[in-house]
Amino acid sequence: MKTYRINEIFYSLQGEGRHTGRAAVFVRFSGCNLKCPFCDTDFREYKEMTADEITKAIAKWKDCGFVVLTGGEPSLQVDEALIDALHREGFYIAIETNGTCPLPPTIDWVTLSPKNCFVEHAPALSAKKVDEVKVVFDGIHDPESWGRVSCMYLNLQPCDTGNAERNREVTRQCVEYIMKHPQWHLSLQTHKLIHIQ
């Protein structure tokens, strides 16, 4: 029986992008095909779980009806069997992906967070149409450098560099960029601002 490497499962609020503030069950997958300098996930720890075990683990939060598949890079593991199992339990399914691997077409909401500009020899984007794009803005790379896919929403998110002074400068530049390019919307990591997971 197929298993998935799960780093953690938890219930919180979506802190980023279009669904900011919405209660969500997060299923964090272990492992990624990129090594971004600002990654905040420890992939060394994980538990092998079947689709049935995952749905049982999140059943206590079923009333929220919203699950976010994140990582790492969830597209390395997510398949139709897992999506079908989550849909059978009544969940609306969102995924946060770097866009380098194909996705099951039945996922309800796709957030593309491209990282090509941060990683040498990154694979090309395979995503062609997504619901939203969330670009991490570091004040160095042009947000347009990620390439273009069809989407409804463009979000620019200041990079958390781990340095408060640098973060203020990156946020200032991010706001300035959006004011000059109003097709972009500001996305903040609100979960960090209000100190929740």
Whether 41 is catalytic is: yes
Q: What is the mean pLDDT of the chain?
A: 92
Task: State in Å, rounded, how far the first CA of the chain is from the last one.
Answer: 31
52 falls in which pLDDT band (50, 70, 90)? Answer: very high
Instruction: Tell me the per-residue pLDDT of 104-160, one tens digit each, with 9 for 90 and over.
Output: 999 999 999 987 666 666 777 888 789 999 999 999 888 887 777 899 999 999 999
> Is it true that the peptide bond before 17 is cis, omega within 30 degrees of 0?
no
DSSP-derived secondary structure letter, 123: P
Active site residue 191: yes
Per annotation, catalytic residue among 29, 66, 70, 96: 96
Known catalytic residue at 185: no
Sequential DSSP letters for 42-90: --S--EEE-HHHHHHHHGGGGGG-EEEEESS-GGGT--HHHHHHHHHTT
Residues 86, 95: Cα–Cα separation, whole Å = 12
